[in-house]
Amino acid sequence: MNLPVIRLRPKAEARAIRHGFPWVYSDELVTDRRTKALAPGSLAVLEDAERRPLGLVAVNPGSRIIARVLDRDPEAVVDADWLAARLRAALAHRAQLYDAPYYRLVHAEADGLPGVVIDRFGDAAVIQSNAAWAEALLAPLTEALCAVTGVATVVKNGAGRARALEGLPEETVVLRGGVDGPVAVPMNGATYMADLMGGQKTGLFFDQRDNHAFVQRLAGGARVLDVFSHVGGFSLAALAAGAESALAVDSSAPALELAGQGAAAMGAAARFATRRGDAFDTMAALAEAGERFDLLVCDPPAFAPSRQALDAGLRAYERVARLAAGLVAPGGYLGLCSCSHAADLTRFRNASARGIGKAGRRGQIVYTGFAGPDHPQLPQLAESGYLKALVFRL
């Protein structure tokens, strides 16, 4: 193909690209009139300042990430066969991990498909095309997905901050097959109900699977509080492991309704309760009422989604830890999670420890967890290792 050529500025770090970094920022590229005129999602050959080719990239002149590396081979052809090869490699890894087809199938840059997330729910899959190139190639990507995995239903979830940064519109549509209601998802012995059309992200957070499994080891006979519960992630896992009771707290009524459906599907409805409200206000009210729990887990949204929000986000994590620690019975366990890539493990751990200390409690860390192996990390891209989970014994 006769593709356009784009070039790094003389002071840009070409070694990072050669060593596997997948992005080029707009201030690293020579953005002349020709480059600015490229349509979002266009393919181009990236060269260093000495005109040596670095690979094939997708370009979006309107994004701060102006180029995403698709292939180290500048002569690669990105078509249905290329997409299918990436999907087959991703599927082989997940098939090695899990007996049932419920997992993250594609984790963006780490699986060689920059900006693309695909979660699989049995014979259905949800695609998040969070980069202009993937949006432009959505039809062949869908075709390849169905051919490689055999899924019959494909949903495009086009919501979220990442798409806005790429200049893409928000829309959620069914691309193949049909969706007639929530999908039951078995995981760690629990049953979760995923809303593929209207739920957060793709409908379920597979990334917490291994952290759910650890918390299950602490849940037998426990009184459990699951704050920022979404569809009951930690509370339903605890019930599956024999918790005495579980209370799920979230601000979303639809999410709590799905959590209740999951508990009923597990035969655990009698041990499960929900409470809708602001997490901070609800924890304060529970403390005022003298409630105590043997196991408490907080899995909030990203309080620090960017470096600019880091300080405020760390204060929010500290506040969560302080309020939550006061609700844990002596000798009980407190799980705290962060999905903010801007808050690294050390900062998050320190903020959590400060909050526990300000609550007048002493804690020991008994577990540190991350996203499951269906969410692989690209070593060169810190953002791919966003999830941290800590469990303290107080």
Please report the pLDDT score of residue 198 as a whole number. Answer: 84
284 with 352, same domain: the answer is: yes
The tally of domains found in the chain comes to 3
Does 22 score more than 70 pLDDT?
A: yes
62 with 103, same domain: the answer is: no
292 with 321, same domain: the answer is: yes
219 with 324, same domain: the answer is: yes
Q: What is the pLDDT of residues 323-334, one digit of tens each?
A: 999 999 999 999
Q: What is the pLDDT of residues 296-314, one digit of tens each?
A: 999 999 999 888 999 999 9
258 with 314, same domain: the answer is: yes
Domain boundary among 17, 36, 71: 71
Domain boundary among 161, 176, 191: 176
Q: What is the pLDDT of residues 157-201, one digit of tens each?
A: 988 888 888 999 999 999 999 999 999 999 999 999 999 998 777
93 with 43, same domain: the answer is: no
Backbone angles phi, psi at 349, to 5 degrees: -60, -45
Q: Let me know: does 44 contact 89? Beta carbons within 8 Å.
A: no
The catalytic position among 146, 298, 337, 339 is 339
- Residue 339 is among the residues annotated as catalytic for this protein: yes
377 with 319, same domain: the answer is: yes
Q: Determine how many CB atoms are found less than 10 A away from the CB of residue 11.
A: 8
User: What is d(CA 332, CA 328) in angstroms, rounded to the nearest whole number?
Assistant: 6
171 with 267, same domain: the answer is: no
Please report the pLDDT score of residue 294 as a whole number. Answer: 98
Q: Let me know: does 68 contact 42? Beta carbons within 8 Å.
A: no
Residues 6+ apart with CB under 8 A from 267: none
194 with 251, same domain: the answer is: yes
- Name the strand (E) or helix (H) holding 9: none
Residue 277 maps to which CATH number? 3.40.50.150
List the domain range (segments joined by +) for residue 65: 5-71
Measured between alpha carbons, how far is residue 99 from residues 93, 308, 361 in Å?
12, 41, 41
Residue 32 maps to which CATH number? 2.30.130.10
Q: What is the pTM of this model?
A: 0.95
